[in-house]
Amino acid sequence: MTTQMTTRADDTGAMPMMLDRIRAAIPALPPAEQRVARLVLSDARSFATQPVAELAERAHVSKPTVVRFCRSVGYDGLADFKLKLAGSVNEGVPFVHRAVDEDDKPGDLVVKVIDNAVSALLKYRNAATSHAIEQAISALAQACRDGRRIEFYGVGNSGIVAMDAQHKFFRLGVHSAACTDGHVQVMSATMLGTGDCAVVFSNSGRSRDLIDVADIAHRKGATVIVVTASDSPLAHAARQPGHILLAADHPEDFDRYSPMVSRLLHLLIVDILTTGVALRLPSESLRPMLQDIKRNLRTRRYTDRA
C-alpha cells in the first residue's frame, strides 16, 4: 500500500475538498453562476476577502447572482461561504491524508493516524453546511420539548456511534434509544410517528438494513436525520423531503482497515447536535437535573479528590 498525500490549497492550484466540490457542481449551475464558480476556482484567496460588488464585477454578474451561487453549492449565503473558503485556503494545518503503510514504525503510525484525524476534522469544519445542522438541531430540540421519541440507528462500527449518541441525549432527559440489531431497528422504526426523530449513522451508506429502516421511519412520518458519505446510496435517499442529510466525507479506505476517521467525524457530529439541543432546552430544568446526576454519580466512586 502506497502513501497518498493531498497538499493544502495554495495559489498553484491544489484544491481542498470544498473547491473540488465547487468544480464538480459547475455543470449543474446556471451560466451566470458558473462564471462565479470559475472565479472562485481561479483565485480562491482573493474571493474570500473581496466585497460582493467587486466579485460581481469580476464575474460579470449581478450581486444577487453571487449570493445565489453560494446557496446553490450548499452554503447559507455569501458570508458563510467566504468564512468556509477562507478556512480552506488559509488553514495552518495542511489538508493531508497519508495512508498507513505495512512497514510503518509505531512513531510513523502516531503521526499518520493523528494527522489523518486532524485533516478530516478541519475538512468537515470547512465543508459542513450550517443550514443542515440548524435543521437537525431544530428537529431534535422540538422532539425533546414535545416528549417525542428519538431513535439512533447504526450497525457495526456505526452502532457504537449510535450508542454514544443515545448516552449523550439520555443525559439530557430525552426519550431516546439506540438500536444496533437489524430486526429491532425495523420494529423500532415501525413504531415511530410524526414528531419523532430517527437518526441514522452509516460510514459507507450502503447497508441495506439502514437504508430500509430510514425508509420505514420516513413512511411513518418521523423526521429522518442521516449521517453518512455524501455520494452514498443512503445519502441519495436522504435528499427527499422529510430527511436531513449531514454529509461526513473522508478519504479513509473503510474496506481494508477498521474505520477510525469516520467514527471520529460521526462522534463529532453527535457532540455538535447534543450541544445545540442542550442550548435550546429550558436551562431552569436542564441544569439542576445535570447537577443532580453528577452529585449522585459521585457516590459511586471508590475514591475522590480531597
pLDDT, tens only, 233-255: 999 999 888 899 999 887 666 55
pLDDT at 10 over 70: no
CB 97 within 8 A of CB 251: yes
Mean pLDDT for the stretch of residues 254-273: 81
**Fold agreement between 1-127 and 130-292:** no
Query: Best-predicted range by mean pLDDT among 1-5, 13-17, 45-49?
Result: 45-49
Give the tens place of pLDDT for each residue, 135-160: 999 999 999 999 999 999 999 889 99
Q: What pLDDT is recorded for position 228?
A: 94
Distance in angstroms (rounded) separating the CA atoms of residues 282 and 272:
18
pLDDT at 269 over 90: yes
pLDDT at 305 over 50: yes
Domain ranges of the chain: 1-127, 130-292
Q: What CA–CA distances, in Å, run from 216 to 41, 136, 140, 233?
A: 41, 19, 19, 16
Q: What pLDDT is recorded for position 233?
A: 93
**Model confidence band, residue 304 (pLDDT cutoffs 50, 70, 90):** low
Give the tens place of pLDDT for each residue, 191-237: 999 999 999 999 989 999 999 999 999 999 999 999 999 889 999 99
From the candidate CATH numbers 2.60.40.1180, 1.10.10.10, 3.40.50.300, 3.40.50.150, the one assigned to the domain spanning 1-127: 1.10.10.10
Distance in angstroms (rounded) separating the CA atoms of residues 147 and 196:
9
Half-sphere exposure of 235 (CA within 13 A, CB side): 14
> What's the DSSP call for residue 5?
-
Q: What pLDDT is recorded for position 7?
A: 34
Q: What pLDDT is recorded for position 14?
A: 35
Would the CA dihedral through 219, 222, 226, 231 be positive or negative? positive
Predicted TM-score (pTM) of the model is: 0.68
Whether CATH 3.40.50.10490 fits 130-292: yes
